[in-house]
Amino acid sequence: MQETETTLDPQRQYAQLLALWAQGNKVLRRQFNGQAHTRSLEAWQLGQSIASHGIGVLPMQLNPVIFFIADDPDDVNAWCVLVDETLNSQREWFRRPIWLSWDNRWQYNGTWTLPAAFMARLGKRQWQTLRRYVEGHADSVAWHSHGDVQDVLAGLRHEPRRIGQAPAALWLPLAQLWRHRGSWRQVALDPTDHLPWLEYDANTDKFLWPRTKDEDSVQ
C-alpha cells in the first residue's frame, strides 16, 4: 500500500496555531485563578497577539520574557529574540535582542527597547524592519509616542539607505519628511547634517523631501 503524506494548508496551520495559543491562555488563567494582570499571563497574551499577525513565536520563558521571534519561515536568518529588559544586565547572553518594556518607553541604542502594548500590534513588515536593525547604530535616541516609532519603522522600511544609514537621532525627522514628501516642514534637523537629497529654505527654516517624477505623475 502506498502511503500518502497529508499536509495542512497554511490557513489551517495558522488556525491550529492560534487555537493552541488560546488553549494556553485558558490554562494560565486557571493556574493564576483568573488574575488578569499576572506577568506570566500578560507575557503569554503578548505572544498570542504577535502570533496572530502571522509571526512565528517560540516562548522560551514567560517571566521574565524570552521569546524567539521568526518573521519569515523561508529565511533561516530572519529571527530575533524578544527579551524582558530586566535581563539587560545579562545582555551578552543574547544575540539579536529586542528589549521588552512594560511601561511606555520607546528607545534605540543599537538595539530597540519598546513597550509590550506597542509590539502586540505590529505586523510582519514592522517586525522585519525591527529585526534588520537589532545590531546597528551605537548612538542613542528616545521617542515620545507609538506614532513616532511607527513613522520611524515606515521610513526605515521604505528608505533603508537614506534613513537607515543616517544617525539614529535623525530617523524620526527624516521619516516625517519622507511621509510628507513634497511638503515643506519644520523638523529637528540641522542644515549642516549633510543630507544632499533634501532641500532647505533658510528663510522659513523648513526642509523638503522632494517627490520623484513617478510620484508627481499620480497626483
pLDDT in tens, 85-95: 999 889 889 99
pLDDT at 13 over 80: no
pLDDT at 218 over 60: no
pLDDT at 216 over 70: no
Q: Taking all residues of the chain, what is their mean pLDDT, rounded to a whole number?
A: 88
Q: What is residue 215's predicted lDDT score, i.e. its pLDDT?
A: 62
Work out the average pLDDT over 61-85: 93
33 vs 196 pLDDT, higher one: 196
Q: Could you tell me the pTM of the whole model?
A: 0.85
pLDDT in tens, 175-190: 999 999 999 999 999 9
Domain spans, the chain:
1-136, 161-219
d(CA 43, CA 47): 6
Work out the average pLDDT over 35-45: 82
pLDDT band at 68 (very low <50, low <70, confident <90, very high): very high
Q: What is residue 2's predicted lDDT score, i.e. its pLDDT?
A: 46
Q: Which of 184, 185, 152, 154 is nearest to 171 (CA)?
A: 152
pLDDT band at 8 (very low <50, low <70, confident <90, very high): low
Q: What is residue 3's predicted lDDT score, i.e. its pLDDT?
A: 46
Max mean pLDDT range (10-19, 28-37, 71-80, 130-139): 71-80
Q: What is residue 214's predicted lDDT score, i.e. its pLDDT?
A: 63
